[in-house]
Amino acid sequence: MLVKREIGAVELLQAVLRRIDEVEDRVRAYITVTREEALQQAREADRMLSRGEVASPLVGIPVALKDNLCTIGVRTTCASKILYNFVPPYDATVVRRLRDAGAVLVGKTNMDEFAMGSSTENSAFFPTRNPWDLGRVPGGSSGGSAAAVAAGEAVMALGSDTGGSIRQPAAFCGVVGLKPTYGAVSRYGLVAFASSLDQIGPITRDVEDCALLLRAIAGHDPLDTTSARFEVPDYASSLEDGLRGFRVGVPREYAGEGIDAGVRDVLMRVIGLLEEMGAVVEETTLPHTPYALPCYYLIAPAEASSNLARYDGVRYGYRTRDAEDVVDMFMKTRSEGFGPEVKRRIMLGTYALSAGYYDAYYLKALKVRTLIKGDFDRAFEDYDVLLAPTSPTPAFRLGEKTADPLQMYLSDVCTLAVNLAGIPAISVPGGLADGLPVGVQFIGRPFAEGMLLRVAYCVERRVGTFMAPLARDPAAAGCAYHGSGGDTAGRGKDG
Amino acid sequence: MALLARLALSEEEKEMYTRQLRDILEYAARLNELDTTDVPPTSHVLPLSNVFREDEVGEHLAPEEVLANAPEREGGFFKVPRIV
C-alpha cells in the first residue's frame, strides 16, 4: 500500500501515533515512544518512496521494539530498575537491519523484567493490559509488543523468546508470533537472558507480515558467534504453496490433560481444517515432554545467573547511594535494582551451578535436553510439522498467577521444549474461546520457517485474522468481547 | 546462596525465597526419574565450534561513548567505592 502511494509513511505513522494517544492510557504497551525520531524516519521513507527507492517491503512501516533490544541513543531498560537510565551506544543488529530497510521505529515496548515471566506483570514499571480484555494479561515476556500490534499501536513488532515469550503473548493477544531456529537471527544487541535459548522474532497482525519481517532480520551476523550461516529464503513467496500431502503430527502430551476445553476445541477445529486442505493429521508422541519444564527451569536460570552478573552498578545503570565498599555496592545495587522474579531465578541458577550441585542439577538438565531434542528429531522423521496449542489456557486475569511462581511457570508447558531443542515455531490465531483469542502452534525442523509460515498462512486463510475490540473501537471501555466466532479483518497495512 | 549471587536479602525475603526455591527444586528433582547414563549433554544446539575471526581492529566504540552511562567516573575510569 505504501509502495503504491495510497498512503504516505508520515500519514501511516500519524495514524499509529493517534491510536497510541487514544488507547495507551489503558493498554500501556510502551515504555518509550520515540515520536520525533519516528517522524524523521517516516519523512525519509517518503523521500525514498517518491524516488522509487524501495529497498525493502518494510519502508515506512511502523515497528515497535521490545525494550531488551539495544537502540542507539534511546533508553533501553529491559523493564528493570537496574537499567532505568541506560542509553545504549550501539544498535542491536536486528535494529540496524530494520533501519537499513527503511522501517520506522515507533518505540520500546514493555516486558517482564529481563524477559523473565509469562504475563508482563514482572515489569518493574507497570503491567501491560490485553487489548481484548483490559482486566487480563497480554502474556509475556513480550507482552508490550503483542499488545501494541493487537491494539494497532504499531503495524509490526519484534519480541524475544527464551521459553515462549513471543508465541504465548501472540496467542493471548490474537496475533501472529514466530520464534526462529536458534541461530537464525543475530542476538547481538539483545540483552542476554539465557544465551543458548534466546531468539528474537516477529510479532505481526498476519502471516504475510511475519514472513516479511523475518526476512529483514534473519541471516548470519559476524558479531554474533552463535548465528548460523544459511541462505535466507524469500519466506513470503512460498506462502501459497498449499498443504496437499503435508504430514502433521499432534503430540498427545500437548493435547490432553491440563489443556483448557476451549483451547482443545480450537485445536480440533484447526485439525479439521488442515485435513480439509489435504494434509494428513495424526497423533504422535514426544515422551520426554513432562521433563521439559524442570529442565528449562534449571538451564535458563543457570545461564541467567551468569548473564546478569554484569549488573553491578559499575559501568551503567542503577547504583546504590551508600555503600561501604565495592562488594557492599554490588549487593545493595543488585538487591535494590532487581525485582523478585529476577532474584529468584538468579539464586536458582547460582545454586544449580554451584560446586557440589553442578552435576546433580545443571549437567543432568543438559543431558535431559539431549533426550528432549531427540524426541523432536524422531518425530520429524515421520512428520513435516507438529501441531500443539500455544498455551494451555487463553489469557488469564492480572494477579491470577502471581502468588505461586510455579503456577506461572506452568503456563509455558507448550512452548518450553521448543527452545530447548532450538527449533522454530509459530503461533497463529486459531479461533476464540469465550471471546478470547486462542493460538495454535506449529513446530518445525531447524531452518524450516518457510514451511511453518506456509501452514500458518493456510490456517489463516480459513479462520481469518482477529481484531481486538479495542482496535476496532478505541473509544470502547475494553471489556471482554462477547461475540461468537472469529472476526475477519482484512490484511491491509492500514493504521 | 544470596551472598554468592551478590544479593542482600531481608529476613522475610530469605524465608520467602527459601520456600519458593525449595518447591522449584523439588519439582526439578523429577529429572532424576530419567536414566541419562550414556546421554551426552547438549549445551549448544547448533553444530558450531570455534567460531573465530582474525585478530584485526574493526569498528569499536569511542571511550566517551562507553563512559557515558557511568554512575560515577573520573577521567577515563569508572569510579567505584574502595575495593580493599
Interface check for A191 against chain B (CB to CB < 8 A): the answer is no
For residue A388 the three cell numbers come to 500443539
pTM of the model: 0.93
Nearest CA in chain A to B34: A368
Using a CB-CB distance cutoff of 8 angstroms, which residues of chain A are in contact with residue B55?
none
A127 touches chain B (CB under 8 A): no
Q: What is the mean pLDDT of each run of 10 residues along chain A (495 residues)?
A: 71 96 97 98 94 90 98 98 96 98 97 97 98 97 98 97 98 98 97 96 97 97 94 95 94 92 97 97 97 94 94 94 91 94 92 84 94 97 98 96 86 95 98 97 97 97 93 63 34 34
Domain spans in chain A, listed from the N-terminal domain onward: 9-290+367-472
Look over chain B and give the mean of its residue pLDDT values, rounded to a whole number. Answer: 86
Q: Where along chain B do its domains lie?
A: 1-34
- Please tell me if residue A230 touches chain B, with a CB cutoff of 8 Å: no
ipTM value, please give it: 0.86
What is the pLDDT confidence band of residue B42, given thresholds at 50, 70 and 90? confident
Facing residue for A183 by CB, picked from B34, B40, B46: B46
CATH number of A9-290+367-472: 3.90.1300.10
Residues in chain A: 495
- Among partner residues B23, B29, B40, which is closest to A406 by beta-carbon distance? B23
Confidence (pLDDT) at A409 = 86
**pLDDT tens profile B6-36:** 888 888 888 888 888 888 888 888 899 998 8
> Which of A335, A370, A409 is nearest residue B8 as measured by Cβ atoms?
A335
